[in-house]
Structure 1
Amino acid sequence: MSAERQPAWLGADEVVGASNTRSGSTGDITLQEEDIVPAAEGGVMGSKQVQDTDEETPLIRKTTSTTLLGEESEERGDFDGLPWYKKPSIFWMLPPYLLSTMAFGGVMVPKLNLILTLICREYFADQALADPTFTYLPVVFGEENEQCRDAGVQSRVAQFNLAGTVISGLLAALVSPKLGALSDRYGRKLIIVLTNFGMFSGEIITIFAAKYPDIISVYWILVGFVFDGMCGSFITSMALAHSYATDCTPPSKRNVAFGYFHGCLFTGIAIGPIVAGYIVKKTGTVLPVFYYGIAAHILFIALLAFVIPESLSKSRQLLAREKYRVKHLASGPPSFLSSLRPANFFEPLRILYPTGPGSSSALRSNLLVLAAVDTLGFGVAMGAFQIIVIYSNFMFGWDTYTQSLFISIVNTCRVFGLLVILPLLNGYGRRWLTGTTHVSRSGSDTFELNIIRVAVMIDTLGFLGYSFARDGKLFTLSGIVASFGGMGAPTLQSVLTKHVPPDKTGQLLGALGLLHALARVISPTIFNGIYSATVGKYSPTVFICLTATFFLAFACALFIRPNVYLPEQEEYHDDDYRENDELLANS
């Protein structure tokens, strides 16, 4: 057989026997028994296929490796031969990730109410200082504090939350792409530890502000937002968890893996507030909730450091470092200031507008529209949460326990939609409506697009209910309706990844992470500003604006076309392996 490139029908991922030997400089091949590939292992029509090797044969060829609990990874066999407890799997990451999301969900409402209480104290103290005849009831931590349901207090709280969100979000948008790139060179675990350290530092500052309110100003909590943003915040942590799943899960099962992480996220957000609310009710103070959050972060960091296997093998890390070194050999690594230039800041978004062979205007339109719908949905979720908490206190007088119960009910319904209704729709619903259970691996089909459109419409109806609810029961019912719109997020991300080849999935997720970080800044900025300007006048105005945003997302979703995707280029893989071989040879 010649040493030319093998035909496409042999597949780019055939396993090569490890014991090929060369004789002299003539390129003669001595075949060993391991070189024979039976039909069951990739041979064609029962014949025995043997891959030739020559001077251009890659030193590392892509293989399929089985990880813990039977998953198949598209790693290059780097984990073959290792014991089960050293093989990466999403099931290593899911339990501690759930613990982390429980801590994240548990401290959200108490932290917002702590900020409300601290700012309320400060607001009335300023009023008394300006007018010696002004009197007010003492503001007590952990109590309802009816006097804090003042429009001036609500406006100042909204401005404070806006400042914290902008600080954390802007810093996260700057560092998230860099942390993602670092994870390619130094492993996922190290960077996930870093992001959790930022959240850990923020909670430490919050505890000191709560424990010593007369010494430490509430504005020190903004320093906690700085630490959180500098370490990437929870957005980067989520993206890195998805990267871990991508490393050890094949494309055909990646949507299931993402669904597991979404389920863990909302399960944690559902259970966390219940636990936090119970702790607050029993102890009469919010401090133990933050202690619980810190303990969860410490445990997660310890498990990452000593128990969870790294999903990115050492050889791939070294290869990525060498590629980075060679790429910047002449010009040197880019400076931090250069990344602040608009052209460089938005560089990761180029994946959403592919050009060249295989691309088309329909593909670019789909990617842009899908990313827009995903970003709008995420932005509304980010902008709405803080508004819902302070609005429910202002309109209905809900305390921390009631708010935690509301969030738990809503997110329990969301988890039910993600883990029960969505799988049933993908299985039985698809078979009933289309007559088949086949799921396209490239592009999206009409059934998936309809799930996205219906989910966005459900969100729209839920937020429309928020706008007109004048009592707590109707407000809760609206939240339950909106929660089932959460089925659109994993479907959106799954459809997006099927528009590009597997080797570009990480780049695509990085672009989405950047958009999410920007949405986390822009959306709360706009909606907190609207609430601050309209509270006490026509307070539901902000929910009308949120409803209009979802309706815009629904209108965009109507323009998504099925069966459009960027085909995988075989030449790209061969060039990529050849470049890897050259780097290894020179290292």
Structure 2
Amino acid sequence: MSINPLDNDTIETLSETSRLLDENFNKNQETWLEKFRKQRLLWMLPFSLTLSIIMSSTMAPLVQLIVELVCQEFNEKNKNKSLRFGDECDLPEIQVNASNYIMWYTTLLNVAVTISTGYFSTLSDYLGRKFVFKLSTVGLILALANVLVVAHFWKIVGIKFLFVGSVIEGLLGGVITINTACHAYLSDCTSCENRSVAFSLMHATAYCGMSIGPTLVSLIVPETVSPSMRNQNFLISPPTSIKNILSPLTVLRQIPVGIEEDNWRGRNTLYILAVIYFFYKVSQAAQNEIVNLYTKYKFHWTSLENGYFLSLQSFTRLLALILLVPLLHLIRLRYNPTNSRSLDIWTMRGGLIMEIIGFILFAIAINPDWFYFACVINSLATITSPAMRSLFTTYVLSNQSGQVLGAISVIESIGSILSPLWMNQLYSWGIVNGISEIVFWTNGGEKGNKVFIVTIDIHY
């Protein structure tokens, strides 16, 4: 794919501050229904609400199911009829086996996502955002159906049959691709000055815990990429084949839009952001799965206590996104209205600091109350993600939002592949050697020594 295939006339009409949305797309609407279906930010809120159910509400039951099935399998193999799901299932052997199953489930999911997400995300510039919503939703439905099959017939199909569902979900895009398409939709409808707030609002609604099916919503959500814009995108730069899974990353090679100084920091701003986002995902993607295993092992938590933890996590993230981010946005408008990137950069740095502190508090928590407190501090780091995504979109032309967000999704999926590989293995090693909290110490150190230091080099 050509990196900068636009002619001079097109470049003059496009910039990082432009909206991709064609203002003439629905200009001749006449009926009340067509006016109601106008492209707007609010259409994405039902999607973010659905993602909250997919990303949080199904995670704890899945981890609990895997632990229970491993416990039953252990019981079958050892012919120990006195072993029941409860405290006996906290044996180190069962914890290690369950951790390995979870690791391979998430690894295969994210490998499949890496193959598909960049292609589908970029393809949304040509076929529209709704195409991605519908396709990836089918994958989620099939994966959940597969979990139900294994839960009821694991003795027939085996626990490893869970992996089939994870691969299917990943090859059809998964949550990462839906999330990327949602951010692309918001980029189409908003200017760069308001983009981080729009992203934060979408993330905030995700943590409300309400659910509306994305397939149902896709029937009424209006498209933001008009037919004329899709045709123009095809003519300017045809989409690459899905065979080249890293092709969306080529957008990172171009000179960032709006950078006037010709120096190393300026030319490589997109690369620096990509490195930051990669390490952020490597240390964050498998976090909640490890928390579920760790708290059950150390504090003997059940699904109820883990539910409290996830509710507290979501509520804290909700408050941070609907109160803290808009407040910072108002402060920027008051004191620095000409530089929208500065707020995103400092928001990202502040979020990373909170995550470092949170991981340290996880490691030293000696009782559940302290662990809940660590959850609050760690959850404040949620302001990092919308700030990062907003920054990426401000450094490219408006018609490249789908491609750059596709690049982010590839980076995210690769980081999500590596995250469970090292975190689950380190957790298993820590369980065997009596230092189960080592995974949190390592996470905090990795953030502090790599990610946060790199942020110093981001160019305004």
The normalised TM-score by structure 1 is 0.70
Q: CA deviation at 1:92?
A: 1.9
- Given that 1:79 and 1:87 are in contact with CA atoms closer than 8 Å, whether structure 2 keeps it comes out as yes
Q: Cα–Cα, structure 1 residues 111 and 545, in superposed 2: closer, same or farther, change >3 Å?
A: same
Give the whole-Å Cα distance in 1 for the aligned partners of 2:78 and 2:365.
33
2:299 alignment partner in structure 1: 396
Q: What residue is the counterpart of 1:556 in the other structure?
A: 454
Structure 2 Cα separation of the partners of residues 153 and 364 of structure 1: 50
Give me the whole-angstrom Cα distance separating, in 1, the residues matched to 2:283 and 2:126: 34
User: What letter corresponds to residue 113 of structure 1 in structure 2?
Assistant: Q
Aligned with residue 318 of structure 2, among 411, 415, 425 = 415
5 Å matches for 1:470-481?
470-481=366-377
Partner Cα distance (2:326, 2:23) in 1: 31
Equivalent residue runs for 1:308-457 within 5 Å:
308-321=221-234, 334=241, 337=243, 339=244, 345-355=245-255, 360-428=263-331, 430=332, 436-441=335-340, 444-445=341-342, 447-457=343-353
Aligned-partner Cα distance in 1 for 2:235–2:277: 35
Higher mean alpha-carbon deviation, 489-498 vs 117-126, is at 489-498
The 3 A distance-change label for structure 1 pair 181 and 488 is: closer
For the residues of structure 1 that align with 2:350 and 2:201, how far apart are their CA atoms? 21
Partner-residue secondary structure (3-state), 2:24? coil
Query: What is the Cα deviation at residue 103 of structure 1?
Result: 4.2
Against the structure 1 CA distance between its residues 214 and 505, is the aligned structure 2 distance closer, same or farther, given a 3 Å change threshold?
closer
Correspondence for 1:463 among 355, 359, 379? 359
Partner of 1:77: 24
Tell me, what secondary structure is at the counterpart of 2:58?
Answer: helix
- Match of residue 40 from structure 1: none
Aligned to 2:111: 170
5+ residue gaps, structure 1: 1-6, 14-60, 66-71, 129-133, 140-144, 273-295, 340-344, 564-587
- Tell me the secondary structure at the aligned position of residue 134 of structure 2: helix
The offset of 1:510, in angstroms, is: 1.6
The aligned amino acid for 2:304 is: Y
- Where 2:224 maps in the other structure, the secondary structure is coil
Q: Which structure has the larger Rg over C-alpha atoms?
A: 1
Letter paired with 1:159:
N
Q: How many percent of aligned residue pairs carry the same amino acid? A: 21
Q: What is the CA-CA distance between 1:73 and the residue it aligns to?
A: 6.5
Alpha-carbon deviation of 1:439?
Answer: 4.3
Q: Tell me how far apart the structure 1 counterparts of residues 347 and 122 of structure 2 sit (CA, whole Å).
A: 33
CA spacing shift, 1:218–1:455, aligned 2, 3 Å: same
Task: Specify the alignment match of 1:240 in structure 2.
Answer: 181
Shift of 1:221: 1.1
Q: Partners of 2:396 and 2:217 in 1: how far apart?
A: 33
Q: Is 1:105 equivalent to 2:56 in the alignment? A: yes
More helix by percentage: 2
Deviations 1:33-85 (A, max 9, x none): xxxxxxxxxxxxxxxxxxxxxxxxxxxx99x99xxxxxx86415121122313
Q: Quick one: structure 1 residues 426 and 93, their matched pair in 2 at CA, closer, same or farther if it must change by over 3 Å? A: closer
Distance 1:504 1:312 in 2: 12
Is structure 2 residue 431 aligned with structure 1 residue 535?
yes
Contact 1:373 1:557 in 2 (8 A): yes
Please tell me the residue identity of whatever aligns with 2:444: T
User: Which of residues 51, 74, 84 in structure 2 aligns to 1:138?
Assistant: 84
Q: Which has the higher contact order (CA 8 A, sep 6+)?
A: 2
Q: Please name the residue that 1:577 is paired with.
A: none
SS in 2 for 1:212: helix
**1:377 Cα deviation after fit:** 1.9
**1:249 has 2:190 as partner:** yes
Superposition pairs for residues 179-194 of structure 1, below 5 Å?
179-194=120-135
Q: What secondary structure, in the 3-state scheme, does the structure 2 residue paired with 1:267 have? A: coil
| Alpha-carbon contact 1:101-1:265 (below 8 Å) kept | yes
Amino acid of the structure 2 residue aligned with 1:532: S
Once the two structures are superposed, residues 528-560 of structure 1 have per-residue CA deviations (whole angstroms, 9 ceiling, x without a partner) of: 111122214211111111111211211112232
CA contact (8 A) 1:73 1:250 kept: no
Pair 1:185–1:367, CA change in 2 (3 A)? closer
How much does 1:253 deviate?
2.5
Q: Secondary structure at the match of 2:457?
A: coil
Secondary structure class of the residue paired with 2:378: helix
Q: Distance in 2 between matches of 1:185 and 1:500?
A: 17
CA–CA distance in 2 between the matches of 1:303 and 1:380?
A: 33
Q: Distance in 1 between matches of 2:37 and 2:60?
A: 38
Over 3 Å counting, the alpha-carbon distance change for 1:187 and 1:73 in structure 2 is closer
Structure 1 residue 375 displacement after superposition? 2.3
Question: The residue matched to 2:82 in structure 1 has which SS?
Answer: coil
1:124 maps onto 2:71 in alignment: no
Q: Give unpaired runs (5+ residues) of structure 2.
A: 1-7
Alpha carbons of structure 1 residues 181 and 511: separation in structure 2 relative to 1, 3 Å: closer
Residue in structure 1 matched with residue 442 of structure 2 by the alignment: 545
Deviations along 1:361-393, one digit per CA (max 9) or x if unpaired, are 222343222222222222322121110011111
Letter in 1 for 2:402: G
Partner residue in 2 for 1:53: none
Contact 2:299 2:367 in 1 (8 A): yes
2-structure distance, mates of 1:555, 1:100: 31
Task: Give the Cα–Cα distance (whole angstroms) in 2 for the partners of residues 448 and 193 of structure 1.
Answer: 31
State the distance in 1 between where 2:392 and 2:84 align.
53
Tell me if the contact between 2:41 and 2:198 (Cα under 8 Å) persists in the aligned partners.
yes
1:185-334 equivalence runs, <5 A: 185-268=126-209, 299-304=213-218, 306-321=219-234, 334=241
Deviation digits for residues 159-211 of structure 1 (CA, Å, limit 9, x no counterpart) = 11111111111111111122123322222112211101111101111112222
Matched position secondary structure for 1:137:
coil
Displacement of 1:318 after TM fit?
Answer: 3.9
2:4 maps to: none
Distance 1:98 1:189, change over 3 A: same
| Contact kept in structure 1, 2:136 and 2:172, CA below 8 Å | yes
Which residue of structure 2 aligns with residue 582 of structure 1? Answer: none
Q: 1:515 to 1:217 in 2, by over 3 A?
A: same
**Deviations, residues 270-327 of structure 1 (Å, cap 9, x unaligned):** x68xxxxxxxxxxxxxxxxxxxxxxx5xx320221x2111222223334445566xx5
1:138 to partner: Cα distance: 3.1
CA contact (8 A) 2:21 2:189 kept: yes
- Report the secondary structure of 1:215's partner residue: helix
